[in-house]
Amino acid sequence: MYDGPQRKVRRGGLVSTTSTESSVGTLALSDAAAAKVTELLEEEGNPELFLRVAVRPGGCSGFSYEMFFDTELAEDDVQSGSGGVKVVVDPASATLIAGATLEYKDGLQGAGFSINNPNATRTCGCGQSFS
C-alpha cells in the first residue's frame, strides 16, 4: 500500500518515486481516493498541480507504479478528471493501467493508496509491483 502521492513536482526530467467510483479515462478513482488526493493537493497550495500516475519497469514483478504531483504536461499525455482531481497518465502507462482503480484506505492497519489493476497477471507481496 502506498503512503500517498509523493509531494515532488517535476520540473523538466522525470522525478522517480516508488512509493463515487468515477471513471477518469484509463484510471478510476474511488470516492476515498479522490477525497484524499484533493486534500493533499490543497495542502500543497498550488492550483497548477495535478496527479500523475505512471508505470515504470522495475519492482519484484516487472513493473511498479509511480504517483506524484506534477505541473508539466506532454502533448501525448492522457488527461482526465473526476471529483475535482485532474489525473494525467503517459500513453505507455495508460495501456497498462486501463480499467484500473486507485483506492485509498485509512484503518487500524495503516493508511495508503493502492491500485486495483485488472491487467495485472501477477503482483508481489508488497503490492507495489505487477506483471
26 pLDDT band, cuts 50/70/90, is: confident
Domain ranges of the chain: 22-119
Q: What digits encode the pLDDT tens for the residues 90-120?
A: 999 998 888 889 999 998 888 899 888 887 7
pLDDT at residue 97, as a whole number: 87
C-alpha cell of 85? 482531481
Contact residues for 77 (Cβ-Cβ < 8 A; gap 6+): 88, 89, 90, 91
The CATH classification of domain 22-119, taken from the options 3.30.1540.20, 2.60.300.12, 1.10.150.120, 3.40.50.620 = 2.60.300.12
Query: If we measure between CA atoms, which residue out of 88, 24, 96, 22 comes closest to residue 53?
Result: 88
- The partner residues of 100 in beta bridges, in order of sequence, read 27
